[in-house]
Each structure stands twice: as C-alpha cells, then as structure tokens.
Structure 1
Amino acid sequence: MRLMSLLLVLLLAVTAFTQNIGERCRKPSNRPGTCVSIRECPVLLALLDRQNPNLSILHEARCGFSGRIPVVCCPDPVVPVTKPSTTNPPPSSAVQDVSNHRNVHLLPMDICGPVADSKIFGGKETGLLEFPWMALIGYLIRGEIGFHCGGSLVNERYVLTAAHCVTSLPNGFVLASVRLGEHNLDEEMDCDLETRVCAPGPLNFDVEEGVPHPQYSKKVMKNDIAIIRLKGRVPFSQSVVRPICLPVGLRHQNRNLDQEFLVVAGWGVTENGTSSPVQLKVNVPVVPLAKCSVIYQKIVQIGPSQLCAGGEKGKDSCNGDSGGPLFFLGLVGEEQKAVQYGVVSFGPKYCGTENMPGIYTRVGHYMDWILNNMRP
C-alpha cells in the first residue's frame, strides 16, 4: 500500500495544483465529482489495493495537492432511481382498497401518527418534535448537502415524498440523504427553553433507492408522488422519531375532506422570501375539486388524484415544502392520530396568494402503488 501511495504521489506530481478541495470537477471520464483528499475517496483509494491498479484513472482524476496529500476528483455517489416502466398500465381513476393488501403489514399502524399536546397548536412555529415524522430530503450540490424538499416517514425504511423531489432534478442535484428528528437547522441541539427538554438529535440516512411514480408528468404535474428507501432502519425504540399514518381502507382513502382544515408543515420559504431554519406549520382548508378546477383551468387540469387546500392570504405551503405532508389531526377509531392525505406538489407563483390554493397529490388514490413498491 505504501509503495502504491508513493507511486501515486509521483504520478500526480507531474502537474501543478489546479483545483482546491471542495471545488466541483468532472473527471475521470467526465463524471461529476468533488475535489477531496485521496483518503476521503473510497472509490479511488480502493484502486491502490488492487494487484494491478489502473494508474491511468488515478492520473486522470488528479486535482492537485493539499500539502503532501494528493487531491483527487472523487465521483459523486450514484443513487439508483427506478426508471418509469413502460409496461405498467396507466393509473385507474378508481381507488383500490388496500385493507387486505399483501404489504399492508409494513405500515406500523400501532405506533403511527402520535398526536402531541402542543402548547402552540394553531400557531406558526411547531413545538419541539411535535410532528416526529417530518423528513428533510438532502441533495449533494457542489460537494455539500443542501435540503430542498420535504417528506414524511411512513415506516422504518421508507419516506413518502413528491416525484419531482426524486426525478427530473435540477442540474447538479444528486439525491443523497434523508434527515429525521430535526427542528431548527441553525441549532446543533434542539431544546425547549421553557421546559428545558432537549431532543436527542437528528438522524441522518443515506438513500438506497428513489422510486418515482412511473406515470409522473412534470409537464402536467400529475402522479407527483414517490417513495425513498433508506439505507438502514430507523430505530423507533431508541428515538422519538415516529411514522405518520397513511389512509387504509376505502372509508379513509376516499374520505371527503372538503372544507376541513388540514395541517401542512415544513421548512419552506416564508412570507419574507427566505427559508425558515425552524420547522413551521399552518392550517389550510380543503377546497372542493370543482372550484379548484375552475381556478386552475387556464394553467393545468386538476383531477381526482389531487387535493386542493389553502387559498387564504399568507397561508400556504411553499418552496422547500415540496414533498412534505398534508395531514389530518383527529380521531381515528378511538385514538387521536395524524393521517397523511396529501403530498405537497405545486401552487401559485407567489405563495399564500389569496384564492389560489396549493395542489397536493392525494395519498389515498395511490395507496395501492405505494404498497406495491415497498419491501421489508
């Protein structure tokens, strides 16, 4: 190993330092990456352990040096994203009852959707871990992780989000990670100053797989739903993180929510145009689909697989809330539960525009697809 390291140093020493650590690069083979120390790039470091290392790849990957340590262009991790299948039939307008679905046992109905006694319910800022299913979706951008979408934990391996948070991403965005148990992004430790109770700290997971709906259309914003499989299992017994409930059974999947107030939460853009470091929430009324269709008729066609909510001035989901949950807080049977009925999809150009509700993917419509694509 030492001989190979010396050989690599000699190999890289023929050129001058060209790029700094942390800078974006496109090599070898024009693959996007970030300049890092060779010690921090397992993919290229592993080449040195081979009996006949491919020195041409190492030479091509050079960025320069940091002191005496070679700096190389470490390729971005490749996260598998399931491509839309051309053999899948188009979604039916009829909702499939999933009460007896083979995978319904993967939804932890016994612990999902716990409702906390919040001192500030109906306020703008959420209480500490008031909604323990909230997730932040992280993207590798220019060598750093940035959170640009939300989601909701539905079991120990899966997060529900929007398809546009998983596929057809902006240039330079690589789906990379999920953070759970976060409240304030600016604080290393989240604490309630009044009760002096502190959260145990966020949990970070790499993404194993992103699965967008096969009929997702960015052009017409239909079927905007996806699931993300985490690398590793969420330790429910060792953390305060819990999944949200999903609607199971036709009574819940087809529930008429018109005029009911649901909750949308996230870290999205606020009314002053900046992202909030603290998790926020707002109560929004569900707008009848017929009324919503008229409002959006010159923009896009709204259908039964979608929900409309909001339209009150200054109250809306916004950029950065994409993929986050729209949920109901109330009795499910004899228990207080939170049930997710929508996924934040899109809305008016200016968030919180009066008489312009936000559009959400209706979760009940896609429960069969969600369960079909979940694995233990």
Structure 2
Amino acid sequence: MLKMLVTLLILSLSSTITSSLNACENCIPITHCVSASQLVARDRSEKTGQILRKNICGFDSRVSLPKICCNNINQSIDNQETGEGTTSKLSNHHNVNLLPTQCGHIVTQRLLGGYRVWDNEFPWVVRIAYRNRDSNAFQCMGTLINSRYVLTTADCLIGRRILGVRVGGRIQSPECTNICESDVQDIGVSEQITHPEYTSSSRTLNNIGLLRLRNPVDLSKENAGVICLPVTDEHRLKNVTGSTGAVSYWDENGSELQFRYHATISTTEECDLYVNKNRNYRRDLAKNSICTVIVNNHRCESVPGAPLMLIGSDPDSYSYYQYGILNTAKSECGPEIYTDVRKYMTWILDTIKS
C-alpha cells in the first residue's frame, strides 16, 4: 500500500510542479497521511490520482517524498460519504451489523421546554469518569452506539486518565423519595481511540473519538440503550438546517440529574462565521461541524461529548438519531459547535470491531 501510494503521487508530480502548490495547515509527507492511504485502499482509479495531485503542497527533501494537504484528502473522503462525490453505500459496510437496528427508542415526545429528563428517556447518554490529582470525577459525556463502544470527542480522550463509564443514574420520578439510585453499570475501558488526524490546534476538525469498553453493557436493563447513527443515505443526506434537535447531559454539580434542552441548527454560513470567531479566518474549520442556537434554555450550560439528536424515521417507527457531538463546554449562552457525525460514519465503521 505504501509503495503504491508513493508511486502514484511521484508519477504525477511532473504535471503538477509547474502549477502553484497548495497552501494549507496540515501539509505533511504523503506516507504520514492516514486519509490518503484509506483513499487509495478504497479506490485506485485515476480519480484518486487526480485528488492526490490536486492537493500536493510541497516536497520533503529529507525523505524524498511529496507532501500533501491531508485535511483536504479527508474532506474528499467525506464528500464521497455524504453524496457530494460518488456516494458510498455504508449500508453494505462489513461492520454495519455491529450497529443495532433497535436503537434510539422514543419513550415519549414532549413540547419544547421541560429541562429535567424523564426516567430512561435517553438511556444511551453515559458519563465518562476521570482520575484527577485529588479525586475522581465525571467530566465528559458519551453515547452508546452498541454494547461495547461509546462515541465522544477526541478532546475528551487525549491526555486524559479515564477510569471508565457509567451507564444509568439516579431515578427522577416523583415516587422516588428514599433510595433514588437506579441499577447503574460502571464499566472500565480497554481502548481509547481518537481520530488519527485530530490536532488540538484546530479543535473543530476531526474532533471525534471512541471508547471500547472492557465488558459489554447489559442492554436488557431499562436504563441502558443505544442511539441510532445516520448510516443510510436518507439520514446522511438529510438537510438539517433549521431543524430543532434535543441535547442531553448529566449534571454533576451536586444534583446528579440528567437534563435536556433544545437547539436549532444554523446555516452553514452562520456556522462558518461562528467557528472562525476570534481567530484567523479558515473556511475548513467549519466544514465538518454543525452549529446550533439554544432554544429557550435558562440553564445555558452543557458538557462536552453531549449528543445532538434529531428524530428520524425507520420503515416501521420513529427513533432518535445522533447528528452531532458537542465539542466544548461553556457556561454562557450562545451558539454551540458540534462535530457532524455524518462526516465520520466510514471512520466509525472502519474502527469498531466485534
């Protein structure tokens, strides 16, 4: 694979060297770009060669290799997945059966408002526990996508000492007056996986990660469930601008209750401006993001890793689908930035295992 990748690009350099080279942040030797290897493995046609040639940004004389705009290659793969290029049929992916078809069960629908979550309303939202210097604490959220994997942000994983995840929590019904703790499951983590092209310098790009659990979650319990992911073309190609979704997280400030709020998805242009606020303008920072504006929320707080969920239809029912992962927490009211899960479905399916 490595030899093919280098040969493909070196043979094309003569036709590119006379044109101006690309300027980009992530200009690295071709062999260091994971997305380039994935693209060649998936498609060895002339179209792939054109994509590689188009994104040449220099030459590393130390190792005698061409350099390439790696983030642009990643975007080319994303375009194929979301239908902007040749649509990839994720429904035929060899790991698609690892995602349960019984997912995102809707307990009940409610009108906008009502911040406390009803019992087991979002049983796929889990808490990630960390070992700090003086104590242990839950500081990020994640979502169960099957019995062994939790979806969250790369920020929540890199450089962090993770103890495990907690599934379930305090019962919140009015009848609960004495013992209010439900049957929680505390499960250790066997593997922390971050997107290979995530960098802390551009935190909105590739800010996605997975936790593989040491033991499977018992999904037969009422307070444990899995969220649906946008695998089919119907859900991945859906225009979600203007849609209002639900966001849920566990509050650890003494109450240990689960909350939810509603957020309306902004336009691409609005998201582009917000992501680039207070920094040098870069259009690529928002390309794999979803931005939202909170609807009627008096709490104005959130926790990184919390899911942005929209109701989608299946052949026989309606379910919750996760479209976003909250990038960073903030205490003030205002727009929020989410990683767009649709853009990373191939990476998720390529990464999970039985």
Which protein shows a greater Rg?
1
Distance 1:298 1:134, change over 3 A: closer
Runs of 4+ with >6 A deviation? 195-199
Contact 1:95 1:365 in 2 (8 A): no
- 94-103 vs 206-215, which deviates more? 94-103
Contact 1:125 1:279 in 2 (8 A): yes
1:181 and 1:283 map into 2 onto residues whose CA distance is 22
Q: What secondary structure sits across from 1:237 in the alignment?
A: coil
- After TM superposition, give the deviation of residue 292 of structure 1 in Å: 1.9
1:42-65 deviations in whole A, cap 9, x for unaligned?
A: xxxxxxxxxxxxxxxxxxxxxxxx
Aligned position for 1:289 = 268
Q: What secondary structure sits across from 2:93 in the alignment?
A: coil
What letter matches 2:269 in structure 1? A
Q: Percent identity?
A: 29
- 157-166 vs 292-301, which deviates more? 292-301
Contact 1:310 1:316 in 2 (8 A): no
Instruction: Say if 2:162 is the partner of 1:175.
Output: yes
**RMSD across aligned positions (CA):** 2.7
Q: What secondary structure sits across from 2:128 in the alignment?
A: strand
- After TM superposition, give the deviation of residue 352 of structure 1 in Å: 1.3
Aligned position for 1:136 = 127
Distance 1:231 1:216, change over 3 A: same
Superposed, which structure 2 residues align to 1:166-315 within 5 Å?
A: 166-169=157-160, 174-182=161-169, 184=170, 190-194=171-175, 200-221=182-203, 222-268=205-251, 277-299=256-278, 301=282, 302-311=285-294, 314=297
2:300 and 2:152 map into 1 onto residues whose CA distance is 14
Instruction: Say if 2:79 is the partner of 1:88.
Output: no
Instruction: Say if 2:85 is the partner of 1:106.
Output: no
1:340-366 deviations in whole A, cap 9, x for unaligned?
A: 00001036x54213xxx1000000100
Contact 1:115 1:336 in 2 (8 A): yes
Instruction: Say if 2:283 is the partner of 1:337.
Output: no
Q: What secondary structure sits across from 2:225 in the alignment?
A: coil
- After TM superposition, give the deviation of residue 165 of structure 1 in Å: 0.3
Distance 1:296 1:157, change over 3 A: closer
Q: What secondary structure sits across from 1:279 in the alignment?
A: strand
Aligned position for 2:44 = none
Q: 1:360 aligns with which of 316, 338, 342?
A: 338
Distance 1:275 1:194, change over 3 A: closer
Give ranges in structure 2 of 5+ residues lacking alignment. Answer: 1-30, 36-69, 82-87
What letter matches 1:295 in structure 2? Y
Aligned residue-pair number: 272
What letter matches 1:351 in structure 2? E
Distance 1:158 1:312, change over 3 A: same
2:109 and 2:134 map into 1 onto residues whose CA distance is 38
User: So what's the TM-score if we normalise by structure 2?
Assistant: 0.70
Q: What secondary structure sits across from 1:137 in the alignment?
A: strand
